Structure 1
């Protein structure tokens, strides 16, 4: 069922039109339209696991908490294999309904959602573009999912989480096939296109199998011209997000500046789909620097979603900002300030990219 038409949704649909250069003006300095959080949990466990035992979708309490912090979008990870147990076959009704119920709950709080198959360009450990996970199989999945959410402008299609170990030209072919399938069923939703090499902002213009993302991914073909590039960036020494330290603070900030310049040069938009730090004071300071840099380059940054939160995330996870027993994480102060920073007015968002 499509969401009721509202001024909020009008803002989102126009904000999603992103590929043409912007006109100069106040809107450019107002920062990203979307400021949000990854609510993780539905991608937990092995495919076919039991709901609320092996994996879980976000609760209303958690959604309400982050909405109060000023956030207006959630990136929602889930497993491709769980939603589509057999390639080329129908989506699982129960799992699809869980996603729909979560979208409805987010809509209640006036939050948009990025649907994120959290699969690293793999299905049952086979790489996209390799039989049986052919490019057509990937396109089939997105065609089926797009039908269910077509033209719900507060639903954004994130094609894939962090493709890796796949050549960039091979991944581009798969991404374009999925985009063709989405548009073929009449879905005009905003599409987020990642690159390869974990879609790192710091490595976006570095060479690799198939060529640099910054060159190859310019080959995205969308007849609706309604897409943005999704990049990720962490602050530790190897930009992996697997260490508590943040010796890569300055590298992360420079990566955001470099991505800003690249997007501006090519008249396109980017969204920072994952980034996160521990509670260490120097790491929180690095987080603020990156958020400030995106705010300053709001003409090209469509938005950001911090990694990570979710009802099942433990206190021991350094990057986690899920509150526990009434205690908030130190990162949340900086995130809340950025979420509530000057934002484009509704009319400004409507004209972004048009």
Structure 2
């Protein structure tokens, strides 16, 4: 090769090397630019839209956190604990609002963007005001340019005493037309208490985490199931029969939520699915008298909507050939207000063939004489050995009219519907029925006694099976859970208790409504709102309602 050819090759190689180095520099520059852009975007997304949301900045030597404008004479304090600053609100005047106000502004193009809010909260002795929602909360409102409130904001709340910090995280979407978001930590007309708030962080996020809708949310069933109402039943010996003497065996589920919510949790869909897909022919429906009469503080209609919901559920059951026990889900002993409830409800459902009256969910802490005939019920009663206090509801001393008076009041309305009545030990112990404390019912279609059987209860024979030989029995609540109850010491496995319990029900042909056809009221039948049965209880219930037979291997 000629000498000049080597020179040309070297020059060409040098050019190629220079080009490669230039491309590398461009690539590195572009990559760094992208990283910077991504970092800037991430930082923008992570930016706290609430200035000084952690309450640490204080640059004006005012002794106040920047941006908050607290009114110390109104119970608004910049508090400190172990070097950490936070906002503390105190009820300065009972029943009056104590509120701190902030605003976050939006542009029109922000509509549809997702936000995530994080905040730490705790409280001490927060007593709600006149309404149940008069508590400690962070009120939030989306507003348009005219000051109209738009939907989509959330307001995390807290009450009572929560000594440890609780972090709340939730997401919202900016609605169309929103020009601002109001953020208002407040004691909303509370009677007493303090409310601490810290680390408020509001940021934009790419999109909201949306859970797929469940069957309970998506299902839609008509109220009218298209069937004739079932026949009116009467008590004959220890059986339930129709006018032709045909015996009926009632098996189903208890469906809670109307005792804690005036609208319930997917309750109509649950009723229909329990009947049509789980083969229930009876539904036990817990209700509360304050919701019924509209005195709970949540209603402004005197209970009209609540009563209409119950009407709808009655018809949903009846038009599918099933029965409904209207369970007054209250406790301890019959009170005058319970008789008021039953006079009203009895007039409403008088002689409805599908409706039975469950007079009182769980009597307890009284003797048999007071249970039947009435008497003074003291506020504090020492629990008997072996009897668990199954809730912490407290009572003032009151005069009970007694269970017999309640039945008599119902019959005076002309309603002959079967009455379902629980007795002592949280509606477990029926033994007194055979000792002269049975309820007299000459003017009605009879009494079915109610027992609630759980793994911590013993003596099935003495507490309800002996009574079942002479009277119809409803196991209005029964169930087991993998979750240990607070009063249990060595709980039995649900996988041995459940088949024995159902085996007992089938052997003695007892009426029953399993507790509970819900995802959170334990012992729960449902694992989720797609109506998947829990393996420890719901699976056994569904199989039994479908006709599977179980053997009782051990009496409890």
What TM-score does the superposition give when structure 2 sets the normalisation length? 0.45
CA contact (8 A) 1:157 1:192 kept: yes
Give me the whole-angstrom Cα distance separating, in 2, the residues matched to 1:32 and 1:257: 25
**Partner of residue 278, structure 1:** 481
**Partner of residue 444, structure 2:** 224
How does 1:195-210 map onto structure 2 within 5 Å?
A: 195-200=423-428, 203-205=429-431
**Partner of residue 215, structure 1:** 435
SS at match of 2:362: coil
CA contact (8 A) 1:231 1:272 kept: yes
CA contact (8 A) 1:256 1:293 kept: no
Give me the whole-angstrom Cα distance separating, in 2, the residues matched to 1:22 and 1:100: 27
Structure with greater proportional strand content: 2
How does 1:1-354 map onto structure 2 within 5 Å?
A: 9-10=230-231, 13=232, 16-20=233-237, 33-44=249-260, 51-52=262-263, 56=264, 58-67=266-275, 68-85=277-294, 92-121=303-332, 128=334, 133-134=335-336, 137-173=337-373, 174-200=402-428, 203-205=429-431, 212=432, 214-236=434-456, 239=457, 251=458, 254-255=459-460, 259-264=464-469, 267-279=470-482, 282-298=493-509, 301=510, 303-310=511-518, 313-314=519-520, 319-324=523-528, 326=530, 327-330=532-535, 331-341=537-547
Give CA deviations for 1:48-67 in whole Å, capped at 9, x if unaligned: xxx45xxx154333223322
Give CA deviations for 1:249-283 in whole Å, capped at 9, x if unaligned: xx3xx50576223331xx32111001111159941
Give me the whole-angstrom Cα distance separating, in 2, the residues matched to 1:102 and 1:4: 11
Give me the whole-angstrom Cα distance separating, in 2, the residues matched to 1:114 and 1:92: 20
Change (3 A) 1:186 1:58: farther
Moved more, 158-167 or 328-337: 328-337
**Partner of residue 26, structure 1:** none
* Cα drift, residue 294 of structure 1: 1.8
Change (3 A) 1:292 1:257: farther
* Cα drift, residue 18 of structure 1: 1.9
CA contact (8 A) 1:58 1:102 kept: no
**Partner of residue 202, structure 2:** none
* Cα drift, residue 170 of structure 1: 1.9
Q: Which has the higher contact order (CA 8 A, sep 6+)?
A: 1
Change (3 A) 1:31 1:144: closer
Give CA deviations for 1:133-186 in whole Å, capped at 9, x if unaligned: 44xx43332111101011111111000000112332222132221211222222
CA contact (8 A) 1:256 1:294 kept: no
Change (3 A) 1:57 1:178: farther
SS at match of 1:156: strand
* Cα drift, residue 78 of structure 1: 1.3
Give me the whole-angstrom Cα distance separating, in 2, the residues matched to 1:108 and 1:158: 21
Gaps of 5+ in 2: 1-223, 241-245, 296-300, 374-401, 484-491, 550-556
Give me the whole-angstrom Cα distance separating, in 2, the residues matched to 1:329 and 1:293: 21
Give me the whole-angstrom Cα distance separating, in 1, the residues matched to 2:348 and 2:226: 17
* Cα drift, residue 116 of structure 1: 0.8
SS at match of 1:179: helix
Give me the whole-angstrom Cα distance separating, in 1, the residues matched to 2:312 and 2:228: 22
* Cα drift, residue 99 of structure 1: 1.0
Give me the whole-angstrom Cα distance separating, in 2, the residues matched to 1:63 and 1:290: 23
SS at match of 1:71: coil
Moved more, 36-45 or 61-70: 61-70
CA contact (8 A) 1:74 1:112 kept: yes
Give me the whole-angstrom Cα distance separating, in 2, the residues matched to 1:319 and 1:119: 18
Give CA deviations for 1:2-51 in whole Å, capped at 9, x if unaligned: x99976512xx2xx32242569xxxxxx9971111111101116xxxxx4
* Cα drift, residue 117 of structure 1: 1.0
* Cα drift, residue 114 of structure 1: 0.7
Give me the whole-angstrom Cα distance separating, in 2, the residues matched to 1:35 and 1:337: 12
Give me the whole-angstrom Cα distance separating, in 2, the residues matched to 1:325 and 1:226: 37
For this pair of structures, how many residues does the alignment match?
A: 278
CA contact (8 A) 1:256 1:290 kept: no
**Partner of residue 210, structure 2:** none
